[in-house]
Every structure is written in C-alpha cells, then in structure tokens.
Amino acid sequence: MFDHLSNSLQKTFKNLRGYGKLSEKNVTDALREIRLALLEADVHFQVVKDFIRQVKEKALGQEVLASVSPGQQFTKCVQDELTELLGRDHKAFDLSANPTMIMMLGLHGAGKTTTTGKLAAKFSRAGRKVLLVACDIRRPAAVEQLNVLAGQVGVDVVNPNPGESVPELGMRARDRAMTQGYNLVIFDTGGRFQVDDELVRELEELRDMVNPQNTVLVVDAAMGQESVNVAQTFHERVNLTGLILTKLDGDARGGAALSIQSVVGVPIHLVGVGEKTEDLEDFHPDRLASRILGMGDVVTLVEKAQDMVDETSMAKMEKQLLKGDLNFEDMLSQMQQMKKLGPIDKLMEMMPGMPQVSAEERQRMADQGKVQSRRFEAIILSMTPKERRKPHVINAKRKQRIARGAGTRVKDVNDLIKQFNQAKKMTKKLKKQQKKLLRFSK
C-alpha cells in the first residue's frame, strides 16, 4: 500500500546522503519533496503541515546540520516523527476484564465480520475461550457468514432468535459468557452506508447493555480521506476506544493509515492485510515507519515465523545447522516450513531494501521463486533416502536418474546441488562463528 510514498521518500533521502554537509536550503528542499509525497499519498493536509513543521524544527537544530552524517540524521528525524504520527507505541486491546467484551462497529463492507473471524482465530490460538455474537439481525446472510467463519476457527456463536432486539441478544450473550466461562466476547454489529441516527441509537443501546471495554471501529483504509471523516464521526457519536484498519494489502495510497490516529486521537490496534483468517497484524508504529522508509520490518517477519512455523522442526533444524552437516532432508523440510509463512511477495515486503522493489517486480520474483522451489522439491523427492542423507554419493549417473524421475533436466539437478553447497558453506561459517562466540563468553 505504501509503495509509491516509500519510493518518493527514499529518493529524497538518497539525494541527501550525497552531501557531506547539509545547508538549510538542502533541508528545505528535502522537506518540500516529503510534503509533496505525503500529500500525494492522500495524507490529511493539516497532518502534513504539522509533520513538516516538527521535522523542520528538529532538522534545523544543531544535531542534524552539525552531525557527521547529516543525511542519516535527517532520515532518523523523519523516522521518529513518522513513528510519532502513527501513535508511537503499539497499543493492545484492554483485556483486563473477564470476560472481556469487544464491540465491532463500522460501515458496510469495512471488514467487521471478516476481522471478527480473524480476532477469534488470534485469541483462540493464544488460549482464550472465545464467543462470537451475530448482531447483524437484519441480514440473514451476515449471520450465516459469521457462523461459517466461526466453524472454520472452531469457536462458538450466539445467533439472534426470531423477534429478538439487538440489546436483548447482547444481554443473552453476556449472560452466556458469564455462566459458561468464556474469556472473550466479540459482538459483530451490522453496517450501514453512512452513520445515521438509527445506527447510532442501535449501537448505543447495545453498548449500554453489554458495557464493552473495547469499542472498536473497523475502517477500510482503501477509502482514503473519507475513512478519516467516517472515523471522526463515529468517535463523536459513540466514543471509540480503538481502530482496526483493513485492506492495507490493497494498492490505495495509504494516507488514511497515516492520518487517522492523529486526527481522531484513538489508537490503531491492528491492521488487516488480506482476506484470510491469518491476515491480521498487530499495528506497531515504529515498524510501519521503518517499512515505509525502506528499512524493512524484520521483527514482524520473525514473529510471523514463530507464530506459523512449528517449533520442534525449527529446533531440529537449528541443531542440524549448528552441527554443520546439512543434507537434502533438512533442505526439504526447510522448504516446506517456508511455504507455511505465506506468499513470498508479502514476506519480501518486510525485508530491508525490498520495499524499493516495485510490487510487480516482487510478484515476478515470487513467481519465479515458487517455480524453482517446486522444481527443487520434485528433485529432492526423486532422490533415494541414501542420496538425500549423503549428498556426496550423487554422481553423473544418479543425476540423470534423479532428473528423469523429477521430470526436469540434469542442469536443474546441478543448480540444486550448487545451492545446497552454498547453504552448506554458510552453515559451516555459522558454526565457526558460534564457536568463536562461545570462546569469548567463557
């Protein structure tokens, strides 16, 4: 979503790094470019104005102009301000009550129901007993949609009875949560095309009945400026505690994500980055800032790996790697674990330097990578167990047989072996480094 903004900002920084010393004019010019980039990304004009003023104050102060690498210092200034703009720290839901109540609100199609399913998955993975409540009583399809999601995730749902009002349903769900030991109750409310009195009244009645600790607005980030207005109106009328931005995977310009926190004044808890249940990420202002500035988001990448990849095979792999004798079985299981992390192009977005590569290019690289890893997998599967465990036995004759079995050419087998040897060299290096570290720590 931030591709364009990210590219413009990085271009500006790159130009600045060329200077050994920065003049006031250099800074002013750079700020003008940043201002334009932010406006182009559809960031609220007042937000842009304040942002530029803040960066200017800091940048023209002693630290930047007089520093050894002023270009880098300037980049750091922008990064700090961007983090500040996005809300500084990650703010989680208030989960202190038992049961905790979360009420989801938002316009039609914002992603309330989908996000309710994602939250149910996230919190049940974390060991909470989750109950969902289908409060969209006007649309039978909405109730059905929530039940399908709940079924996939494996959590319970309270459905509306005929003739029951939303507050009555809310009350019944709350009682059930209390008596049956649920820790977390999520109310999926119905949407509207706009914020009107009837919607506000319905939400207020439900809120007053269940007293949620979290009143969360789900906002479609692809709506740009409009989504900021919507959030402001909701906040004025029903008092929000937090926001969830959805569809951050789209190609909209991202201005909403950058303005909404500072305009509305409530934190963004989470962001939706796709339609699937696992496409939900904690919102960390510092990580997004560094992603936008092209520095990648390694922390999220590692967390994702920890969340999705199973620990025992990781531990086994680590041990194998440190032993320094990698074989094709390890390589195969590594490839299979990688697949669990999701589409490669999405992962690439989080790697340092990668945001500079355009989305299409990333997609192309990912497709190429997929074809190659599928081919490599077929080749390894076509080896005998002995060949997999003792790669050095693979001679020219065996290569021919393996290639035939995998439906590829000998050249592909050679490519795989070349990659394998490189990986093996790496693991040997790692092993040496680890020994050194151990010696130092003694």
Stretch that binds ligand GTP, among 71-79, 103-111, 332-340, 371-379 (CB under 6 A): 103-111
Q: Which of 274, 285, 296, 355 binds ligand GTP (CB under 6 A)?
A: 274
Q: Which of 273, 321, 331, 416 binds ligand GTP (CB under 6 A)?
A: 273
Distance CA 251, CA 342 (A): 19
Q: Of 108 and 404, which CB lies nearer to Mg ion in the complex structure?
A: 108
Residues 10-32 as b/e (b if ≥16 CB within 10 A, e otherwise) read bebbeebeeeeebeeebbeebbe
- The CA angle 409-412-418, to the nearest 5 degrees, is 145
Quickly tell me which residue has 């920065």 as its tokens. 22
Token code pair at residue 425? 């060299």
Shortest distance, CB of residue 342 to Mg ion, whole angstroms?
Answer: 25
234 CB neighbour count, 10 Å cutoff:
24
Shortest distance, CB of residue 135 to Mg ion, whole angstroms?
Answer: 9
Q: Which of 71, 87, 111, 160 binds ligand GTP (CB under 6 A)?
A: 111
Quickly tell me which residue has 């192009």 as its tokens. 345
Q: How many CA atoms lie within 13 A of 69 on its CB side?
A: 9
**Does residue number 112 form part of the binding site for ligand GTP (CB under 6 A)?**
yes
Residues in the chain: 442
Q: Of 186 and 379, which CB lies nearer to Mg ion in the complex structure?
A: 186
Quickly tell me which residue has 């800032």 as its tokens. 289
Shortest distance, CB of residue 109 to ligand GTP, whole angstroms?
Answer: 4
Which option in Mg ion, ligand GTP, none does residue 120 bind, with CB closer than 5 to 8 A by kind?
A: none
For 159, 376, 414, 426, the CA distances from 379, given in Å and listed in that order, are: 51, 5, 10, 22
Residue ranges in 111-130 that form contacts with Mg ion under rule CB under 5 A = 112-113
Shortest distance, CB of residue 252 to ligand GTP, whole angstroms?
Answer: 11
Shortest distance, CB of residue 122 to Mg ion, whole angstroms?
Answer: 18
For 197, 343, 375, 379, 405, the CA distances from 387, given in Å and listed in that order, are: 71, 30, 17, 11, 14
Helix (H, G, I), strand (E, B) or coil at 184: strand
Shortest distance, CB of residue 137 to Mg ion, whole angstroms?
Answer: 12
Q: Of 112 and 253, which CB lies nearer to Mg ion in the complex structure?
A: 112
Stretch that binds Mg ion, among 68-76, 142-150, 177-185, 316-324 (CB under 5 A): 142-150
Which candidate, 2, 18, 173, 201, places its Cα nearest to that of 105? Answer: 201
Residues 103-134 as b/e (b if ≥16 CB within 10 A, e otherwise) read bbbbbeebbbbbbbbbbbbbbbeeebbbbbbb
User: Could you give the string, one character per residue 199-228, with x where binding to ligand GTP holds by CB under 6 A and - elsewhere?
Assistant: -------------------x----------
Residue ranges in 251-270 that form contacts with Mg ion under rule CB under 5 A = none
Stretch that binds ligand GTP, among 224-232, 241-249, 405-413, 420-428 (CB under 6 A): 241-249
Q: Using an 8 Å Cβ cutoff, are 130 and 184 in contact?
A: yes
Q: Using an 8 Å Cβ cutoff, are 64 and 73 in contact?
A: yes
Which option in Mg ion, ligand GTP, none does residue 208 bind, with CB closer than 5 to 8 A by kind?
A: none
Shortest distance, CB of residue 68 to Mg ion, whole angstroms?
Answer: 55
Q: Of 219 and 403, which CB lies nearer to ligand GTP in the complex structure?
A: 219
Which option in Mg ion, ligand GTP, none does residue 135 bind, with CB closer than 5 to 8 A by kind?
A: none
**Does residue number 296 form part of the binding site for ligand GTP (CB under 6 A)?**
no
Q: Which of 114, 215, 227, 262 binds ligand GTP (CB under 6 A)?
A: 114
Q: Of 113 and 215, which CB lies nearer to Mg ion in the complex structure?
A: 113
Site size toward ligand GTP, by CB under 6 A: 22
Q: Using an 8 Å Cβ cutoff, are 252 and 222 in contact?
A: yes
Q: Which of 91, 122, 235, 247 binds ligand GTP (CB under 6 A)?
A: 247
Which option in Mg ion, ligand GTP, none does residue 285 bind, with CB closer than 5 to 8 A by kind?
A: none
Shortest distance, CB of residue 367 to ligand GTP, whole angstroms?
Answer: 20
Distance CA 439, CA 37 (A): 50
Shortest distance, CB of residue 114 to Mg ion, whole angstroms?
Answer: 8
**Does residue number 110 form part of the binding site for ligand GTP (CB under 6 A)?**
yes
In whole angstroms, what separates CA 24 from the centre of its chain?
37
β-pair type (280-282, 268-272): antiparallel
Binding site for Mg ion (CB under 5 A): 112-113, 142
Interface residues with ligand GTP (CB under 6 A) are 106, 108-114, 136, 142, 190-191, 218, 246-247, 249-250, 272-275, 279
